[in-house]
Structure 1
Amino acid sequence: MSLKSLLALALGASCLFGATNVLAATAPADPGVINKEQILYWLVKRGELDAEASEEERQQALAAYTAKSTGAGSKAAQVLKAREQQLLQQARSNSLRQSKLMRAQSRVADTDVAKRVKVLAVLVDFPDLPYNANRLSPGDTEMYYANYSVAHYRGLLFSDAGFPGPQGQTLPSAYQYYQAVSGQSFFFNGDVKGWFRASQNAAYYGANDPNNNNDDKAATELVEEAVAAAVATMSADELAQYDIEDPYDIDGDGNLDEPDGILDHVMIFHSSIGEEAGGGVLGDDAIWSHRFFVPSAPGQYGQAIPGSNMRLFGYTIQPLDAGTGVCTHEFGHDLGLPDEYDTSTEASDGSPVGLWSLMSGGSWAGSPRGSQPSGFSPYARSFLQDRYKGRWVNEQSLDYQALDSNGTQVTLEHANSSGVNQLAIKLPSDSIAFTPAYQGQYQYYSNQGDQLNNALSFELQLPMSTSLTLKMKAHWQIEQDYDYVQLLVDGVPLAGSHTKSSNSINNAANIISGDSAALPGGEGEQGWQEISFDLSAYAGMSKQISLVYRTDEAVGGYGFAVDDIRLESDGSLVYSDDAETALETVVLSGFVRTDDTRPGAPRRYLLQLRNYQGVDVGLQQDSYEPGLLVWYENLAYSDNKVAEHPGYGLIGVVDADQNLIGNRDSEVQVRDASFSLYPQSAFFGDTHLGNNSLFDDSDDYSAPLKPQAGLVLPKLGLMVQLLTQEQDSSQAQLLVSKRGDSNGTELSASISAQQEGGDVSFSANLSGGTAPYTYQWDFGVGGVGSTLATPQYSYSESGTYTVTLTVTDANNRQTVTSLQLTVSIPLSALFDISGTGLTVQFNNLSRGGSGELSYQWDFGDGQSSTVASPSHTYSAAGSYSVRLVVTDSQNNQSSNSRTLVVSNPVVPNTTQSSSGGGGGSLGGLSLLGLTLIAWRRRR
């Protein structure tokens, strides 16, 4: 049976997108593309904010302007987005089964899978705002062009060589971006049509709807008009090129790379600044960039496109001055990625992601702003790799349970390399604190989440009686009417003391919904209620009793907890289950038997090495520090709404520097989140520029004074230590370990050394002890040393040196070891020359050899010297050949000759000119043909 048929059955055939009969929805704003600086610019330019406004007034104005972007839009919008994810997930499951079989037959590796998409981009303007009379001036946007031509958008989206920037520079295209982040396995192709003129003025489409979270009123109508106009200019054969995918697997065959009658990818560009960047001259009437769907009639995907056999469903929409960042961000949604920004309904400092990910603020990285978007978070890379295969990420995985105190060393390449560029550390699932059982230790719990259909079932043999009542204690927090609990008797919902017979949202009957704590008579903070059902009609029968918990695709509470289930007959107890014993007769399908905790979800640490290479070059513009990023992924959360749950979210970076940068928002606070062996670069307002090379989960990374910028981490004894790090953060060696007890094995160490002349690379070989370790090296040269795990040192003299290493572990245990190192450097006679007039200073730069060196100088005028760095005055100007012979204690010799020309000193003219000028000649010795050698002998 096809997915479409299954959905129709599951949802009562009311509508492909659910029993809520959502036929249309206003278009929700995307908070991930907000440009605060440009919003303030336009508020001032339009006279809505005083140019001299205080910082507090500016922040209040920003909060008011961006309020529409908080939250996920109307309920209808949330349902549409979430149900699309449900369809995609089911289609993905079908495809995995099919692709596994196909790959087994063809032996094609995941990394060899290439994905090609075809995007139809359409340009549309308004009667009151033509694209070529857009009322913009060069200072209004960093992406200002005198002509926003079709060719400009073709370059922006599809060029394989970049496109011209506003100042003539070459900027990366969306095609190049997706090629880079996918390891050249994802091909973003297509074409641009337009410009077309909308039937209504701009405000008709972009005005905010106060009844629907101030979403854009009719953006979907604009999309329908624009696509219809574009399709009217295309032949059937050309149009068919834009339908090569079946992402929802409509025919249920598991093949997602085949036509399905729906345009695959539609990108709309309108003729205004986007509302997310201030809205330009339109202000609130501008369309906010987003990804969404056109309305769907019952049983259909989207709308039929007039004059064709094709349908329009999903789309993205961008502004006139869109940069690569906005386009790639919105297309990321088209690929199935969520926002990693805070989308909560409350004012927020922002999630702890900032510019580190395209799906948060990274869409605005680079100069001009948004022209060099940063890479994806490791959550997004893993998602894309799983869904599309190819080369989005090369991940190495460790299991926390398998780690020990000795640690595991990992070599990590930078995130945009083809080597191992991501390290995953799988953590044990967490248990979440929950309301204790009503009595005893255990209770039954429905679990929490979207798209649930969980059940607790048991068989009852009902006695012959005129009074049979099923009673139980329960508390619940359930999205009113959209989600619900039912008690089923052989699959039929039964009315009870706390049920509602029907509702306007769906066709479910006899449901329990809402919040038990809000009802009278509840016990405790959660409002334990005694609920009852009359089973007298089933006297003498055997019946299956089921408690079912069903949720839709968005929003919801913690669910339903039940305890002390009992059946009474004429006041006598016939059956009871207090959950204290795991009964074989109770079948749990999604429900769990639990205590004062509830099950957590999978969670991982994901490590990336980020620098200014590849797509991350734009991070330098915003002073984001290169180094090791430790991300925490917690699937107990489906979003990054840190204003609602500060310190917790789907994905975020662990900030290595917990010193706040003033009162700035999270985007600024996490600029120095990377762990590094090198100090930070200067940044305005940041007075703590030291480095941190050790992640230790026993430390506090919650940013207590700015909790939305921090993360609350599990205390598992996990540590990650940077051992080595290239200067440009292109590669690093890590030690991942688990803290051991204080009675661990004895700590011991030895030294390894690799020599090339006087250049020596040292490394420590450790066993026992408890990580992390600290290192103190002494290279045997006047107290010179290092605290790195694998240092390098260049010796200037041959000889035997005692190298000493002191290692200290996490429990302050120490071990000291040493190595006798013999260094042999070839003897090399070197010198440079300086001086004035006939007097010349010869500077000895010789190196190498053994023991004490002796020197023999021949100045080329019959004079000589045995001083290491002599001074010599020539008797006359001329050309002289100077030779130095150096001999070491083993009678090894090296010589070096140079030719120099000396001149008589210039006698200054003591007569002052009438102009009072002070000369202007070099007035000194001309030394020609001299070579200055940079080697210096260390002492």
Structure 2
Amino acid sequence: MRPALLAALALCTAAPVALAAPPAGLQGERARLVSDLAALRFDQLGNPVLHWDAIPPVYAPADHPHQLLVVLAEFPDRKFVRFQGDATQGGKLAAWYQDQLFDPKYEKKDTLSHFYAVQSLDTYHLQGRVLPPVTLSKPRAAYGAPYRPEGGDWRNDADTEGMAEEVLKLAAAAHPELDWAAFDRWDPLDHDGDGVLAEADGYLDHLVIVFAGGGQSSCQGLYKLDEALNPNVGPEALATLPAEAKECAERIWPHRFMIQKREGQGPMVEGRVHGRGGAPLRPTLWALDYNMQSEYTEASTFIHEFGHSLGLPDIYARQTSNSTGCWELMSNTASPSPQNLSAWSRLMLGWLRPRVVLPPEFGGKAVQSAYLRTLDAPLDPPAVAREHQRAGMYRAAMVVLPPKTIDVNLTALPKGGQALYSGQGNGLNRSAELRLDLAGKAGPVTLSFDAWWEIEAGWDFAYVEASVDDGAT
């Protein structure tokens, strides 16, 4: 059993609240959690922390917007349908997507430009560039066919990382005149530690690849591919599928991922290497994250997927039936017009300052009032905004609940009363170090330990390493 102290909030669809210095001990830890939560210091709320528990705020003024790069890609055996047969298809396709996704005046509804300017109350602006189609070197199945790694489950898409890298190489070669540096204006991880996020970090900020043809998500259920390609069958099962089902299986599944290559390498930024890996475009510009969508993807889905590019997770009701689908973009995508972002999503991105309501034992009054206006009310003129602030009117309220201690039952310990716990989540990198002084010791040294894990083959890895030269080797 592992005790864990948790702080909770209830966000009802601004001003941080300061608490007195917390006392020592468990009560002091509880007070610290409440203080950090009330001040919106989500990155201080303890371990385990999933990466979306502390999303870096993101801002971009209208005169220096973020730029989304969209590259159209087709295969030797699968071409784009729209404008097919037209000698100027490539240019018309790029212009069509440009009009669907972006608006330099931020006025056209259901474009990414308009949506994010409105949702952020004009604190975040987005433009972009759509490039005409590039033609890949291999047929679609070479990138999209499912495969089964040894010891693992079936997976979609044999080589979409390689496909993303090839698309970028082709686009870079076809457009040497493009202002590639304009697509790097954001340093979300603050790689240089200067506290400035609105600067280049050597990586493309936002990348979408639109491929010709449909995505596998549109037909997998029809052909019951999960049943046909189950854990009890090997790679030979793919060849036994009917022609229509095999065609579906070889489609690319729309997804967001990373080009996991060249680990430790990266672009040269301010005289040092930013080594997150990826694919090089220029000595000072690499690509890592990408989003891949089919040519039939609607603009509302692009808007949803761009939320991930800013750091937002999918907000699904995985264990309950209280779905946020009708009022949260990141839960389910409506068409043709997307839902708005919830108060939580806007809060995480730094676009909302809620009225903070504290529990009585941590400084809040026994009876408190919150005067709320419509979350999606238009942006006020400065004078009106100041009047609303003086009146105590907010777009949302955040109710801080008292922290509680719960026991996490991990596993029975084989002996002793203590163990190390890594936490759980995506994108984690945890390590523990034990130093021993063996000076003057003779004979063999034996290391033994008990370990317990739940691990995903092919994606998660655990290592035990030993060194006698302070980690040099």
Q: Which interval holds the TM-score relative to the shorter structure?
A: 0.5 to 0.7
* Cα separation, 1, equivalents of 2:166 and 2:410: 53
* Cα separation, 2, equivalents of 1:117 and 1:276: 29
* Cα separation, 2, equivalents of 1:292 and 1:239: 21
TM-score by length of 2: 0.60
Q: 1:393 aligns with which of 327, 346, 352?
A: 352
| Structure richer in helix, relative to its length | 2
Match of 2:155 in 1: 214
**Distance change >3 Å, CA 349–CA 207, structure 1 → 2:** farther
Q: Which runs of 5+ in 1 are unaligned?
A: 1-84, 100-109, 136-146, 164-169, 386-391, 461-473, 483-503, 511-939
Residues 66 and 127 of structure 2 are in contact (CA less than 8 Å); yes or no, is this contact kept in structure 1? yes
Q: Secondary structure at the match of 2:171?
A: helix
How far residue 429 of structure 1 moved from its aligned partner, in angstroms, is: 3.1
| Residue 415 (structure 1) aligned with residue 375 (structure 2) | yes
Match of 2:342 in 1: 377
Greater displacement, 272-281 / 211-220: 272-281
Residues 109 and 115 of structure 2 are in contact (CA less than 8 Å); yes or no, is this contact kept in structure 1? no
How far residue 507 of structure 1 moved from its aligned partner, in angstroms, is: 4.7
Match of 2:204 in 1: 263
**Distance change >3 Å, CA 373–CA 182, structure 1 → 2:** same
Q: 2:126 aligns with which of 188, 199, 204?
A: 188
How far residue 244 of structure 1 moved from its aligned partner, in angstroms, is: 2.5
* Cα separation, 1, equivalents of 2:70 and 2:196: 25
| Residue 331 (structure 1) aligned with residue 306 (structure 2) | yes
* AA of the residue aligned to 1:180: V
How far residue 314 of structure 1 moved from its aligned partner, in angstroms, is: 1.3
Output aligned runs, 1:8-19, within 5 Å. Answer: none
| Residue 311 (structure 1) aligned with residue 249 (structure 2) | no
**Distance change >3 Å, CA 233–CA 436, structure 1 → 2:** closer
* AA of the residue aligned to 2:95: A
| Structure richer in strand, relative to its length | 1
**Distance change >3 Å, CA 454–CA 426, structure 1 → 2:** farther
* Cα separation, 1, equivalents of 2:285 and 2:411: 55
Output aligned runs, 1:208-357, within 5 Å. Answer: 208-211=146-149, 213-235=154-176, 238-278=179-219, 282-300=247-265, 301-305=277-281, 310-341=285-316, 352-357=323-328
* AA of the residue aligned to 1:207: A
**Distance change >3 Å, CA 505–CA 447, structure 1 → 2:** closer
How far residue 233 of structure 1 moved from its aligned partner, in angstroms, is: 2.9
Match of 2:137 in 1: 199
Higher Rg of the two aligned structures? 1
**Distance change >3 Å, CA 356–CA 277, structure 1 → 2:** farther
How far residue 447 of structure 1 moved from its aligned partner, in angstroms, is: 4.8
Q: Secondary structure at the match of 2:209?
A: strand
Match of 1:704 in 2: none
Q: Secondary structure at the match of 2:400?
A: strand
Residues 246 and 256 of structure 1 are in contact (CA less than 8 Å); yes or no, is this contact kept in structure 2? yes
* Cα separation, 1, equivalents of 2:82 and 2:131: 19
Q: Secondary structure at the match of 1:375?
A: coil
**Distance change >3 Å, CA 405–CA 241, structure 1 → 2:** closer
Residues 131 and 148 of structure 1 are in contact (CA less than 8 Å); yes or no, is this contact kept in structure 2? no
**Distance change >3 Å, CA 372–CA 161, structure 1 → 2:** farther
* Cα separation, 2, equivalents of 1:111 and 1:247: 12
Q: Secondary structure at the match of 2:369?
A: strand
Q: Secondary structure at the match of 2:370?
A: strand
Output aligned runs, 1:769-780, within 5 Å. Answer: none
Residues 115 and 186 of structure 1 are in contact (CA less than 8 Å); yes or no, is this contact kept in structure 2? no
Q: Secondary structure at the match of 1:204?
A: helix
Deviations 1:371-394 (A, max 9, x none): 211122333222211xxxxxx213
Residues 61 and 124 of structure 2 are in contact (CA less than 8 Å); yes or no, is this contact kept in structure 1? no
Greater displacement, 182-191 / 210-219: 210-219
* Cα separation, 1, equivalents of 2:213 and 2:330: 23
Residues 60 and 66 of structure 2 are in contact (CA less than 8 Å); yes or no, is this contact kept in structure 1? no
How far residue 480 of structure 1 moved from its aligned partner, in angstroms, is: 6.4
Match of 1:424 in 2: 398
**Distance change >3 Å, CA 299–CA 349, structure 1 → 2:** same
* Cα separation, 2, equivalents of 1:178 and 1:112: 12
* Cα separation, 2, equivalents of 1:90 and 1:435: 25
* AA of the residue aligned to 1:289: P
Output aligned runs, 1:772-791, within 5 Å. Answer: none
How far residue 509 of structure 1 moved from its aligned partner, in angstroms, is: 4.5
Output aligned runs, 1:926-937, within 5 Å. Answer: none
* AA of the residue aligned to 1:506: Y
* AA of the residue aligned to 2:68: V
How far residue 274 of structure 1 moved from its aligned partner, in angstroms, is: 2.2
Match of 1:158 in 2: 102
* AA of the residue aligned to 1:340: I
* Cα separation, 1, equivalents of 2:145 and 2:111: 31
**Distance change >3 Å, CA 378–CA 209, structure 1 → 2:** farther
Q: Secondary structure at the match of 1:429?
A: strand
Deviations 1:702-728 (A, max 9, x none): xxxxxxxxxxxxxxxxxxxxxxxxxxx
Output aligned runs, 1:478-489, within 5 Å. Answer: 478-479=453-454
Q: Secondary structure at the match of 1:430?
A: strand
* AA of the residue aligned to 2:338: P
Output aligned runs, 1:436-515, within 5 Å. Answer: 444=418, 446-447=420-421, 449=423, 450-453=428-431, 477-479=452-454, 505-509=462-466
Q: Secondary structure at the match of 2:394?
A: coil
Residues 91 and 249 of structure 1 are in contact (CA less than 8 Å); yes or no, is this contact kept in structure 2? no
* AA of the residue aligned to 2:281: I
Match of 1:178 in 2: 116
* Cα separation, 2, equivalents of 1:410 and 1:480: 45
* Cα separation, 2, equivalents of 1:269 and 1:288: 12
Deviations 1:672-704 (A, max 9, x none): xxxxxxxxxxxxxxxxxxxxxxxxxxxxxxxxx
* Cα separation, 2, equivalents of 1:113 and 1:443: 57
Identical positions, percent: 24
* AA of the residue aligned to 1:420: Y
Deviations 1:263-312 (A, max 9, x none): 22211111122222337984222222211111321322211238x76322
How far residue 202 of structure 1 moved from its aligned partner, in angstroms, is: 1.7
Q: 2:75 aligns with which of 112, 120, 126?
A: 126
How far residue 416 of structure 1 moved from its aligned partner, in angstroms, is: 1.5
Residues 114 and 185 of structure 1 are in contact (CA less than 8 Å); yes or no, is this contact kept in structure 2? no
Question: Higher relative CO (CA 8 A, sep ≥ 6), structure 1 or 2?
Answer: 2
* Cα separation, 1, equivalents of 2:454 and 2:410: 19
* AA of the residue aligned to 2:290: Y
Q: Secondary structure at the match of 1:358?
A: coil
**Distance change >3 Å, CA 283–CA 403, structure 1 → 2:** farther
Deviations 1:175-210 (A, max 9, x none): 111111111111111111012222222222111223
The alignment's C-alpha RMSD in Å is 4.7
Residues 55 and 312 of structure 2 are in contact (CA less than 8 Å); yes or no, is this contact kept in structure 1? no
Match of 1:358 in 2: 329
Q: Which runs of 5+ in 2 are unaligned?
A: 1-49, 85-90, 223-243, 266-276, 380-392, 438-448, 468-473
* AA of the residue aligned to 1:299: G
* Cα separation, 2, equivalents of 1:111 and 1:159: 15
| Count of aligned pairs | 347
* AA of the residue aligned to 1:376: L
How far residue 398 of structure 1 moved from its aligned partner, in angstroms, is: 0.9
Deviations 1:480-521 (A, max 9, x none): 699xxxxxxxxxxxxxxxxxxxxx8535249xxxxxxxxxxx
How far residue 435 of structure 1 moved from its aligned partner, in angstroms, is: 8.3
Q: Secondary structure at the match of 1:287?
A: coil
Output aligned runs, 1:795-874, within 5 Å. Answer: none
* Cα separation, 1, equivalents of 2:338 and 2:349: 17
